[in-house]
Structure 1
Amino acid sequence: MSLRDPFKNPFAEEDTDRRAIWEMLVPRDIEAFLTADWQMVADDFIAAGFTGISGNHQPDPQGYTLAFPTLEAYRDEWLRQAQEFGATRDAGAFAGDPKQGIFGATRLEEIEIDGDAALVRKKFDGKLAKADGSHDVMNWQTLYICRRDGGRWKIAGFVGYLPYVANP
């Protein structure tokens, strides 16, 4: 079994739709989060009708919540989390640069496309080493609903923070 390069787009050069979606949801999303730069990803969303549902890491959909009824609500929480992460990183809480760990934990290899709509499965399964010897665990998945808008793929909504159990 060969090791995957977490920084390399896994889709074939001629699969331009899946490559574009991967670029939006992996490197651009991670870079924007690490720098708390919402402007880097702001144009990756369709604001009209945007909805984000949180699975709250619960296996039963009864525990899901309408956490982000608007893009603005999602943006505000995204910025809060990115700024909190940055402050933790800047305080020296991580053992080394967490960027490698985030890329290593992120898998986006399944994209179902039907016309101008796509269902994208993004999974997180890994740990970020902390300076004190502990770890921040990244273990959840997100289902993104993407649409082609203005000639490019954008996020129309998602169901996130779902439990994820990696295949053994």
Structure 2
Amino acid sequence: MNKVFVVFLLVLSFVSVNNYDINGEWEIIYVKTPNYTYDKKTNQVDFSRTYRRFVKTSNRKQLDFPTLEKIEAEIKMKDSNNWFVFDKNGIYQRRTDFDVFVEGSYEVDSINKIIKTSAKNISKNTLGSHEYRSRRELKTNMNYYFENGLLHLSIGKFKDKQSTLFILKKNIN
């Protein structure tokens, strides 16, 4: 009986050490998409070879397509101050300091390591100047895991590796 109790305590301590709390504000520190990689620490954007070729060969005048430099500046502006928020009541948001652009609910499937969200694209300026809500609800499954205290989220197609990977650091206030 004592051996069973010791094994139970060991398993419980392992689970508690490796079972991080998803609740809170999570700052994006790294993004990897099929087209680019952004590292907030170095403030560097690296484009995939395929995407570089696409941008360079596209007919910019006809498509009004921006240059790589402009795309890089937009990525840095968008991803350098971007948060995932999971509150204790099951409310989910994607936001910046001035704008909430996705809002809805979430549910964690800790066995399969999936966060299921049901949200709407919105644009709610926190300064109160405008608000927009889409009618269409977006249901998303995000694969997740924790490594070195960081939350790793994969959103999109997983089998053909066309997903977007976010690495997030918890905001501790």
TM-score (normalised: structure 1): 0.34
RCO comparison, higher one (Cα < 8 Å, 6+): 1
TM-score (norm 2): 0.33
More strand by share: 2
